[in-house]
Amino acid sequence: MQAHGIATHLMLALMKHAAGRGIRCMEGFVMATNAKMLEFMRFLGFEIRSSAKGPQIKLVSRPLGDMVTT
Protein backbone atom coordinates (compact mmCIF):
# COMPACT_ATOMS: atom_id res chain seq x y z
CA MET A 1 0.00 0.00 0.00
CA GLN A 2 1.21 3.52 -0.75
CA ALA A 3 2.11 5.17 2.51
CA HIS A 4 1.75 8.73 1.25
CA GLY A 5 -0.72 8.66 -1.62
CA ILE A 6 -3.34 11.31 -2.22
CA ALA A 7 -6.00 9.33 -0.34
CA THR A 8 -3.78 9.23 2.76
CA HIS A 9 -3.11 12.97 2.59
CA LEU A 10 -6.80 13.77 2.09
CA MET A 11 -7.95 11.48 4.88
CA LEU A 12 -5.38 12.83 7.34
CA ALA A 13 -6.39 16.40 6.47
CA LEU A 14 -10.06 15.51 7.02
CA MET A 15 -9.27 13.85 10.35
CA LYS A 16 -7.22 16.87 11.53
CA HIS A 17 -9.94 19.27 10.45
CA ALA A 18 -12.61 17.25 12.24
CA ALA A 19 -10.50 17.07 15.40
CA GLY A 20 -9.95 20.82 15.25
CA ARG A 21 -13.73 21.29 15.12
CA GLY A 22 -14.19 19.25 18.29
CA ILE A 23 -15.15 15.92 16.73
CA ARG A 24 -13.72 13.24 19.00
CA CYS A 25 -14.26 10.12 16.89
CA MET A 26 -14.61 9.33 13.21
CA GLU A 27 -16.59 6.30 12.12
CA GLY A 28 -18.09 4.83 9.01
CA PHE A 29 -19.22 1.67 7.26
CA VAL A 30 -17.21 -0.41 4.80
CA MET A 31 -18.29 -3.43 2.80
CA ALA A 32 -16.65 -6.54 4.27
CA THR A 33 -15.50 -7.53 0.78
CA ASN A 34 -13.66 -4.23 0.22
CA ALA A 35 -10.25 -5.50 1.35
CA LYS A 36 -8.31 -2.48 0.06
CA MET A 37 -10.45 -0.02 2.02
CA LEU A 38 -10.27 -2.13 5.17
CA GLU A 39 -6.47 -2.29 4.79
CA PHE A 40 -6.41 1.51 4.34
CA MET A 41 -8.52 2.01 7.45
CA ARG A 42 -6.18 -0.24 9.48
CA PHE A 43 -3.19 1.73 8.14
CA LEU A 44 -4.82 4.95 9.43
CA GLY A 45 -5.40 3.41 12.86
CA PHE A 46 -9.10 2.65 12.60
CA GLU A 47 -10.60 -0.21 14.59
CA ILE A 48 -12.64 -2.60 12.45
CA ARG A 49 -15.61 -4.36 14.00
CA SER A 50 -18.74 -6.19 12.96
CA SER A 51 -21.75 -3.94 12.57
CA ALA A 52 -25.41 -4.28 13.44
CA LYS A 53 -26.12 -3.88 9.70
CA GLY A 54 -25.11 -7.51 9.08
CA PRO A 55 -22.02 -9.57 8.30
CA GLN A 56 -21.46 -7.89 4.93
CA ILE A 57 -20.87 -4.46 6.56
CA LYS A 58 -18.00 -3.53 8.88
CA LEU A 59 -17.97 -0.57 11.25
CA VAL A 60 -14.69 1.36 11.26
CA SER A 61 -13.91 3.88 13.98
CA ARG A 62 -10.99 5.91 15.28
CA PRO A 63 -10.62 8.39 18.13
CA LEU A 64 -9.24 11.72 16.92
CA GLY A 65 -7.62 12.97 20.13
CA ASP A 66 -4.11 12.54 18.73
CA MET A 67 -5.01 14.65 15.67
CA VAL A 68 -5.63 17.88 17.59
CA THR A 69 -2.95 20.48 16.97
CA THR A 70 -2.30 23.33 19.36
Chain segment 51-69, per-residue pLDDT in tens: 999 999 999 999 999 987 7
Task: Tell me what percent of the chain is helix, strand and coil, each rounded to the nearest 5.
Answer: 40, 30, 30
The CATH number of residue 46's host domain is: 3.40.630.30
Chain segment 6-46, per-residue pLDDT in tens: 999 999 999 999 999 999 999 999 999 999 999 999 999 99
Please check whether residue 1 lies inside any domain of the structure.
Answer: no
Other C-beta atoms within 10 Å of 23: how many? 12
Q: Which residue segment(s) compose the domain that 22 sits in?
A: 6-67
